[in-house]
Amino acid sequence: MSRIVYVNGHYRPYGEAAVHAEDRGFQFADAVYEVIEVRDGRLVDETRHMDRLARSLSAISVQPPMSRPALAHVLREVIRRNRVRHGTVYLQVSRGAAPRDFLFPTAGLQPTVVCLARASSQTVLDARAAEGISVVSIPDIRWGRCDIKTVMLLPACLAKTEARDSGAREAWLIDADGFVTEGASSNAWIVTGKGELVTRPASSAILSGVTRATLIDALAHERMQLAQRPFRLTEALAAKEAFITAASNIVMPVVRIDGAAIGDGRPGPVALRLRAVFHHIAERSSH
């Protein structure tokens, strides 16, 4: 079966789907995006993802390209046409195509909308979670508005490639004061030696993760306390547990940071419990 990509109102074969050479997303990273989990053919936490997309668009002064119901239809159609049961949907909205100019065009630009779906193996992800992943720490060289989900991802690409080259799956980004901001494409969490669950508060220094927000709801169900405060790399290295959250891997235990074992070097009970309960709490879309 061939893959289908949605581009500006058309469903095209993967190899033929294209945007304009002067698309501002391509020239200036003048675009925002969402990655949404697909589970059993349904979108996970669609409302929160669409709310965040609206916030990102508003932050860069791009009008929503279509109504929410229309966008919801595109997401479902891309999932359906690609027959994805488990995986992710990628949705990108750029300001549109115009002759290259730093200034935002004043009027008349149609945003470019691209939507793709990709299947992933639940078995592979679950096996990875059962083993846990390694992360490496890397200086956070990104800009001051990491709360906007833009496609300006070169720092994340560099960080993740460096992580891969040192045998790790994710990079934890460290700010100028030695605090962990977040993962290159995930939020970062630890369980301290005293059993305190900690994650950095939402601010312009991190992306306010949808998975993070839903996990905070799950904590209330589990009657677990959370401290939202910055934590240093040194505190993470001394932690009992560590994990990351993202739509692409939900709760993923971290068992090594910079080569040093976290806790006993195996996925911890808090991370595994939260991974197990997450989808009971998360919103599941209708078809």
Q: Which stretches of the chain bind ligand PDD, using CB under 6 A?
A: 35, 182, 185-187, 207, 209-212, 245-248
Which residues are known to be catalytic?
A: 149
CA-to-CA distance for 266 and 256, rounded, in angstroms? 9
Question: What is the nearest approach in angstroms of ligand PDD to the Cβ of residue 168?
Answer: 16
CA-to-CA dists, residue 41 to 44, 47, 49, 131, 217, angstroms: 10, 16, 17, 26, 23
> Which is closer to ligand PDD, CB of 65 or CB of 155?
155
Helix pair angle (46-59, 210-221), 10° resolution = 140
CB 23 within 8 A of CB 112: yes
145 vs 59, 179, 202, 203, 205, CA distance in Å? 10, 17, 12, 9, 7
Nearer to ligand PDD, 97 or 170 (CB): 170
Regarding beta strands 133-139 and 250-257, do their DSSP bridges make them parallel or antiparallel, or are they unpaired? parallel
- Write down the least CB distance from residue 151 to ligand PDD, Å: 9
Minimal CA–CA distance to 254: which of 189, 203, 184? 189
Query: Quick check: 107 and 67 in contact, CB under 8 A?
Result: no
Phi, psi angles (nearest 5°) of residue 48: -65, -40
- Which residue type is seen at 258? D
H or E element at residue 69: helix 68-81
Handedness of CA 125, 278, 247, 116 (dihedral sign): positive
Residue placing its CB nearer to ligand PDD in the complex, 98 or 136 = 136
How remote is the C-alpha of 151 from its chain's centroid? 11
